[in-house]
Structure 1
Amino acid sequence: MTCSLVSVHRVQIMPYGVAPRFLILYGSQRGQAQSIAEEISEQATEHGFLAKISCLSKGDKYNLDREHGPVVFVVSTTGDGEPPDTALKFVKKIKNKSLPGDHYSHLHYALLGLGDTNYANFCNCGKTIDKRLQELGAKHFYATGHADDGTGLEVVVDPWIEGLWEALKKAFSRMSDSNQEGTAQGEATEKSTQQGAEIQEKLDSSAVSLHLLKLGDVETQKEKAETSASESETTEPSGAPLEPALIRSVPPLSQSALNVPALPPAYLEVRLEDVPVEEESVHVLKEDFREVPVSRALHLTRDDAVKSAILVELDIADQDMPYQPGDAFDVLCPNRASEVEELLSRLGVEDQRNRCVYLQLRKDTKKKGAQVPSYIPQKCTLQYLLTWCLEIRSVPKKAFVRALVEWTQDSREKRRLQELCSREGSADYNKFVRDTNVCLLDLLQTFSSCSPPLSLLIEHLPKLQPRAYSAASSSLCHPGKVHFVFSVVEFPACAEHPERTGLCTGWLVHHVSPILQPCGTITAAKKTADCSALPKVYVRSRISNTFHLPSDPSVPVVMVGPGTGVAPFIGFLQQREKEREERQNGPFGETWLFFGCRHKDRDFIFREELERFVENETLSHLKVCFSRDEQDGNDPEPKPRYVQHQLLLHAKNIVHILLKENGYLYVCGDAKNMAKDVNDTLIEMLGNELQLDKLESMKMVAKLREEKRYLQDIWS
């Protein structure tokens, strides 16, 4: 069967020197929104537009008050529906109630929000900006998009970007009809011959590099694709049909023409030199991380528990790191040494690990706004770069897969990588790459003829991100210390990769193993005169804006935290215990805790401390459930297995607390299942107790969120 490899689109060249210009603004926490904004910027040239791109935090780079051209926003959401750090100032600015209703009446915009439906406040930052811009008179020129990281951002992002270009053309046309310059920039756009030549040069270069191939190479590559498709095996030697896998596809995908994205422009040059390098850990300290000793580590679960939970105590007495219960701490962990070794070997640079890495921009790069990554020290070794700077475990984005095509020799492997990054191969990408947490090393092990240069990795691998852990203590109870709890995340072996533990949790349990105490140890670790003998970690505090106890201690609180989700509530209760000691006459509101685990005798963490809180009346009600313990056949009714079942049993009390006493509901733990189930249960409880239909109950839950009385600290 004959098939073509790619779809190549010719660029419509705009009139000489008058490429319409628009502004792209992004707010990003972990780089996804920035990456998508940069992709839009790169594609703009291909479609005959000139894009200016800026982070929302860089208010000196743009001025929406004077912006008369179209504006495209790409914004993510973090935490409990909060703006990313880079968008905080912008959101605060537009929320200013003194702004008149026509403040942005001149503004025409489109907005793409990124979120995750595993979290209740899906795309909340994007929705907040969208709503507020509308209130200030701004107008849409293109429908708002909401992309879901829970199912795959590209499902919405790709078609949204595809439709953006026609919407921009129509927007500029309308502006022209209204006697507005289609190239308005807030200040007049230069139409000089020099600028026109620059624009034309960019368009000409992109016209022959779009969608995988130079136009002159299309026929040659088509022939290769036809050969690859016709020669590909479709059955096992036994005669059974082949199943698709990371390394191979089956019809119809294997015989389809592909829409492959444009090749991301290279922008970095890398040199490795034999130059002495100073201690690189200094670079870490520049980012507000402090190196602190681990003064204690304790197993909270028995050895036969399904998941092990570990408490870590950090000594922060010598650091200026104040915190409240509900705050979190970022832990900076390195990439796994064995994986760094494998990557060095696979790239063929294991003998250059101690050489100094020098980065500079390519003089011929076509990438707009290209910058050398700021998170890479100016002088560091290759070993340090791969250990501390790059997230080598990250799932490669389609743009990265697309770039790897160019460095793959085997025609079948090349074709498969093209499929995985193509529009037609989205289902395979999700199934074999995204959903199985495939990383770069997995791809390189699978596609053995792929040999990318180091520069490509630095261009496409994101910054190694710290992992956040909720404080499980109060500084009133443990001055100079902070506790946090974690379960070791496990990724079982599959066809795409071997068995793994979570990057940070796997590293932590190994790192603290010399002082790790068994479950049941109640005495503190012996103090050592030599602090250097203790394991150390890099941490920084992450202050929560909302996840704190009410300022008025008489307000009742309901806490839902199964498993390690109970961690911040241990801090809450320690705080309340000390407050009760200091103010014995109160008043103090009721405290409810709903806790769940698998087995009462194996993983009921903090059991003794929770029972003490009940005994001294710090905790008014402790409701526990055990999902895998056998039920007692003599019980008239089965015991609740999950926290949402316990909530239903006490619906009348909880609804009364929330609606009649203006109480607070806190939920901490798993986002994908538990948090969703608790949210659905809350809607059900309100409906049953108040005789409301589901829509009215949902509105009431939304109101609790708006009032910041239904708060979540959840993760997926």
Structure 2
Amino acid sequence: MAQLSLDFTDVVILSTVGLLSAAYYFFFKKDSRVVVSPATSPAANATKKEITKSSAGKKSLVEKLRSQNNENQLVFFYGSQTGTAEDLATRLGTECTKKYSLPVLVCDPEEYDMMELVEWIENEGTESTLFGFFMATYGEGEPTDNTVDFYEWIMAGSGKGDDEGEEEIDDDELLESGSLRGLPYVAFGLGNKTYEHYNAIGKRLDQRLAKLGGVRVGELGLGDDDDSMEEDFLAWKTAVLVDIAKHFGLQVTASGAQRDAPHVPLFDLVNVAEDNALERIYYGEHSNKTPRRWQMLKNGTLDQEDDPKYVETEKTTYDSKHPHYGRILKSRPLFVDVHDEYGFDSNLLLPKAGHKRYQVSDCKVRIERHCLHVDLDLGDSGLKYVTGDHVGVWPVNDEEHVQRLAQALNISHGVLDSVVQLNPNKKNMSAANAKMPFPAPCTVRTALVNYLDVSSTIKQHQLEILAKYADDPAERTALFELSENRERYVTLIEKSRKDLADILEAFPSIAVPIVVVIGELLPRIAVRYYSISSSSVEEPTKVGITAVMVRYAIPSCHPAHRADDKKNDSVVIREGLATSWLQRLHEQRTESASRTNGAAAAPFSQEDEALPIPRFHLPMYIRTSNFKLPKNPRLPVVMVGPGTGVAPFRAFVRERFHLAKTRPEMQVGPTWLFYGCRHPDKDFLYRDEFEQMEKEVADGSVKLDLRILKAYSRVEGQKKQYVQHMVQQHAEDVWNMIGKQKGSFYVCGDAKHMAHDVHETLTALALDHGNLGTEERAKTWVKDLKSQSRYLEDVWA
């Protein structure tokens, strides 16, 4: 046993440590219930003062509910990444108000102190309030951004829990079993069966609430976006409306459209004098506080296209509700002269020929495909990302589409350019707690271009609203039938993705007020997410986006409303909102156009001290992801990403190549990418970059085992090959890197087909080369890879 000896210095150090430990315990540990993050909640019997301390900056849920002063109250919380969960919560709330005169509060859990649920149950009871949870599952079984704090608190640090409910979730000592005893709630989960963790958040939350003493009213609703989220919601809604009525002791009323009841707008439209409100007007910017302004840097450095640099007049912190506006540094096409061809029946009316995006001949439509790489500047925003993260951007509508809608609404340029404000309509019971659909005051044009999605498919319940504004009896009846007959709606509206302008053109007698259009019929433009295709190590101040243009042709049925209507069904061209916007921006930059990036005309010049959104600046924020390279760069990585699934792997490969080139002492491990496209000379993304890296590896300039293994599916005279085939061909090498050398396996792209096939290939590979004996053991091995975060997917449906 070694002898212990202390000199004077040791005594001083130990004494200092002891004093600091005592001070820490006295000042910090003395009241461990007062915390900063809701990830560790206050005890069930914590005081209101303690709860407020633990949720600094959050609104008080208890105070909000008490201020409502209602005999009965519905409180719906939504976890939404793209707005769907919020929309469903709002729709159910609106129907409860219409049918049962129940006031509804629809809340973003990120804004409220959700810990106060405990206090509310203890002090107010459970008879007069019913809570609702509409929870989407994001990514690989993760909560949406706006529910992270609430989820971590309610799950008491138990992480993912168990999706199937077979295992108990351990209680946190500060959130005891039964602390929400009697809490009545309804729950609807939003997910996609294509993903492994289908509706995980909704299921886990329901299980957890039951464990804490909650009592679910009705069945747990589960919506599947791979099939029909809307039909799943409608089926659940029909039953849960009855359950809600029974909970409050109310008489159950029949479902269906109320044809004779007039529509009461949710908002009133108020005109604002523009000359007295320049500083208060929004010109299309996204903000969580007040209008934002930019100024040009007088001596700013110009980029290759001589675009001036701008900075915001007020420094701020950026997040998903207050995005940074990143300047486009570069945009370039990744392939050209690529087309998709569609064939149709001869009885369909084809689009007019001569359009720059497509060609029409005989019964075929040939549409151009485009793919862009766009670099956005983070500048001095303070935003940082890690390779593998996602970037969210908010697109704007095509002004031609907005003008088409304005014509269908029969509104003038004067109305479009009038500055307006929305105020709750006191005649509508739902208005008091209604969320404003966009920042205001702004012009009607700004709302339609920048904030509201004019290309969204019209919902079935919205057709009931439109029917009440139809003057023609035949059109009115047809619209009501579409709002009530699901099969007819799917055939005539949903499958051909008809938007509001389409409906107004088909039913010209509709005279719907503009306040209903911008206040109720058009959803807010949702953020679009892209896997970042740049490396934070190589390019820390810029974010790369890889975007293929969404453009396709589909048959469109005419929703006939008269027996003598002879209009033919037709073929229509649809475009993705975000990708078509990115292409317009690219073309505007290329052509050095003077038009702004979607902002409405404003009384400012580019040289003013404070001006609205500068040209070619995109609203963006960084969303963290678990899709990360191993911390040890010496470990092998195997990547599978066909098409635009290569986006994060372009970043991975560039980062590993950069490290191998600039820091050879790191000895970066094998870096293999299985990439698939149609044809090597047409749609091979980043081909020039990959070939240059391969050349430097081949000539010995960079020491790295880099392989870009290609699969082509549309080369004339050759058999179709897909990425899973290439993985199988190199099965032994893949097993050596993943099974023996403890490397990581990554998949990005289509979840339903490609990712599933690659998963099956990896399982077969493990069985054949891993000496695992049985298929069951091979599946377990693959499952263990995922649990160790060595098999990661960044996939979409």
1:295 matched to 2:329: yes
* TM-superposition CA deviations, 1:513-569 (whole Å, max 9, x none): 25559xxxxxxxxxxxx9x9x961313232323122122223332211111221111
Residue 442 of structure 1: how far off its partner (Å):
1.4
Residue 432 of structure 1: how far off its partner (Å):
3.1
The match for 1:506 is: 580
Alignment of 1:528-547 (within 5 A): 536-547=616-627
Residue 153 of structure 1: how far off its partner (Å):
1.4
**138-147 or 623-632, which moves further after superposition?**
138-147
Residue 275 of structure 1: how far off its partner (Å):
2.7
Residue 584 of structure 1: how far off its partner (Å):
1.9
Residue 479 of structure 1: how far off its partner (Å):
5.3
The letter of the residue matching 1:296 is K
1:466 matched to 2:527: yes
Tell me: CA distance 1:710–1:362, structure 2 relative to 1, closer, same or farther (3 Å): same
1:333 matched to 2:333: no
The letter of the residue matching 2:117 is L
Q: How does the TM-score come out when normalised to structure 1?
A: 0.75
Alignment of 1:407-556 (within 5 A): 407-422=469-484, 425-458=485-518, 459-478=520-539, 480-492=541-553, 494-495=555-556, 498-513=572-587, 516=590, 536-556=616-636
Q: How far, CA to CA, are the matches of 2:212 and 2:435 in structure 1?
A: 37
Tell me: CA distance 1:346–1:111, structure 2 relative to 1, closer, same or farther (3 Å): same
Q: Is the 8 A contact 2:104 2:430 kept in 1?
A: no
The match for 2:789 is: 708
Q: Is the 8 A contact 2:659 2:668 kept in 1?
A: no
Q: What percent identity do the matched residue pairs reach?
A: 27
Residue 591 of structure 1: how far off its partner (Å):
2.1
SS at match of 2:142: coil
The match for 2:713 is: 627
Q: Is the 8 A contact 1:304 1:602 kept in 2?
A: yes
Q: Is the 8 A contact 1:272 1:356 kept in 2?
A: yes
Q: Is the 8 A contact 1:356 1:380 kept in 2?
A: yes
1:37 matched to 2:39: no
Residue 21 of structure 1: how far off its partner (Å):
5.4
The match for 1:160 is: 236
Q: Is the 8 A contact 2:388 2:625 kept in 1?
A: no
* TM-superposition CA deviations, 1:52-87 (whole Å, max 9, x none): 543332433773324353543211122333211221
Unaligned runs of 5+ in 1: 1-16, 173-181, 184-199, 218-261, 518-529, 633-637
The match for 1:271 is: 270
Q: How far, CA to CA, are the matches of 1:692 and 1:442 in structure 2?
A: 59
Q: Is the 8 A contact 2:286 2:619 kept in 1?
A: no
Q: How far, CA to CA, are the matches of 1:665 and 1:648 in structure 2?
A: 14
Residue 624 of structure 1: how far off its partner (Å):
0.9
Q: Is the 8 A contact 1:211 1:263 kept in 2?
A: no
The match for 1:11 is: none
SS at match of 2:708: strand
The match for 1:102 is: 177
Q: How far, CA to CA, are the matches of 2:748 and 2:263 in structure 1?
A: 40
The match for 2:13 is: none
Q: Is the 8 A contact 2:492 2:556 kept in 1?
A: no
SS at match of 1:498: strand
Of 139, 154, 164, the residue aligned with 1:79 is: 139
Alignment of 1:375-386 (within 5 A): 375-377=438-440, 379-386=441-448
Tell me: CA distance 1:21–1:329, structure 2 relative to 1, closer, same or farther (3 Å): closer
Q: How far, CA to CA, are the matches of 1:263 and 1:122 in structure 2?
A: 40
The letter of the residue matching 1:267 is L
Of 116, 119, 130, the residue aligned with 1:63 is: 116
* TM-superposition CA deviations, 1:455-506 (whole Å, max 9, x none): 2222231112233332222244345433222111112153257323322222
The letter of the residue matching 2:234 is D
The letter of the residue matching 2:494 is R
Q: Is the 8 A contact 2:114 2:150 kept in 1?
A: no
Of 240, 252, 258, the residue aligned with 1:213 is: 258
Residue 147 of structure 1: how far off its partner (Å):
0.4
**591-600 or 349-358, which moves further after superposition?**
349-358
SS at match of 1:492: strand
Tell me: CA distance 1:344–1:289, structure 2 relative to 1, closer, same or farther (3 Å): same
Tell me: CA distance 1:344–1:619, structure 2 relative to 1, closer, same or farther (3 Å): farther
**670-679 or 545-554, which moves further after superposition?**
670-679
- Please tell me the root mean square deviation across aligned C-alpha atoms, in Å: 3.5
Q: How far, CA to CA, are the matches of 1:411 and 1:490 in structure 2?
A: 36
* TM-superposition CA deviations, 1:379-402 (whole Å, max 9, x none): 211111111110111112222122
Q: Is the 8 A contact 2:546 2:647 kept in 1?
A: yes
The letter of the residue matching 1:509 is Q
SS at match of 2:421: strand
Q: How far, CA to CA, are the matches of 1:313 and 1:275 in structure 2?
A: 36
The letter of the residue matching 1:627 is S
Q: How far, CA to CA, are the matches of 2:731 and 2:431 in structure 1?
A: 56
The letter of the residue matching 1:212 is A
* TM-superposition CA deviations, 1:679-710 (whole Å, max 9, x none): 44445545666667777766655554444333
Tell me: CA distance 1:694–1:394, structure 2 relative to 1, closer, same or farther (3 Å): farther
The match for 1:128 is: 204
SS at match of 1:60: coil
The match for 1:142 is: 218
SS at match of 1:301: strand
Q: How far, CA to CA, are the matches of 1:494 and 1:585 in structure 2?
A: 59
SS at match of 1:117: coil
Tell me: CA distance 1:660–1:489, structure 2 relative to 1, closer, same or farther (3 Å): same
1:590 matched to 2:592: no
Residue 415 of structure 1: how far off its partner (Å):
2.7
The match for 1:668 is: 748
The match for 1:370 is: 433
Q: How far, CA to CA, are the matches of 1:679 and 1:90 in structure 2?
A: 33
1:361 matched to 2:360: no
The letter of the residue matching 2:481 is E
Q: How far, CA to CA, are the matches of 1:77 and 1:700 in structure 2?
A: 25
Q: How far, CA to CA, are the matches of 1:169 and 1:370 in structure 2?
A: 21
* TM-superposition CA deviations, 1:76-102 (whole Å, max 9, x none): 122333211221111111232434662
The match for 2:301 is: none
Tell me: CA distance 1:272–1:694, structure 2 relative to 1, closer, same or farther (3 Å): farther
Q: How far, CA to CA, are the matches of 2:690 and 2:620 in structure 1?
A: 28
Q: How far, CA to CA, are the matches of 1:270 and 1:154 in structure 2?
A: 30
Q: How far, CA to CA, are the matches of 2:784 and 2:245 in structure 1?
A: 40
The match for 2:17 is: none
The match for 1:231 is: none
Q: How does the TM-score come out when normalised to structure 2?
A: 0.68
Residue 113 of structure 1: how far off its partner (Å):
0.4
Q: How far, CA to CA, are the matches of 1:368 and 1:701 in structure 2?
A: 52
Tell me: CA distance 1:140–1:466, structure 2 relative to 1, closer, same or farther (3 Å): closer
* TM-superposition CA deviations, 1:191-240 (whole Å, max 9, x none): xxxxxxxxx9xx9xx97x974337xx5xxxxxxxxxxxxxxxxxxxxxxx
Q: Is the 8 A contact 1:491 1:502 kept in 2?
A: no
1:90 matched to 2:135: no
SS at match of 2:721: coil
Q: Is the 8 A contact 2:326 2:620 kept in 1?
A: no
Q: Is the 8 A contact 1:340 1:386 kept in 2?
A: yes
* TM-superposition CA deviations, 1:650-675 (whole Å, max 9, x none): 34444554455443332222344333
Of 615, 639, 659, the residue aligned with 1:559 is: 639
The letter of the residue matching 1:102 is S
Tell me: CA distance 1:433–1:374, structure 2 relative to 1, closer, same or farther (3 Å): closer
Q: Is the 8 A contact 1:573 1:613 kept in 2?
A: no
SS at match of 1:300: strand
Q: Is the 8 A contact 2:184 2:214 kept in 1?
A: yes
The match for 1:192 is: none
1:400 matched to 2:486: no
Q: How far, CA to CA, are the matches of 1:436 and 1:684 in structure 2?
A: 40
Of 286, 296, 306, the residue aligned with 1:284 is: 286
Residue 342 of structure 1: how far off its partner (Å):
1.1
Unaligned runs of 5+ in 2: 1-68, 158-171, 293-320, 341-368, 558-570, 592-606
The letter of the residue matching 2:578 is C
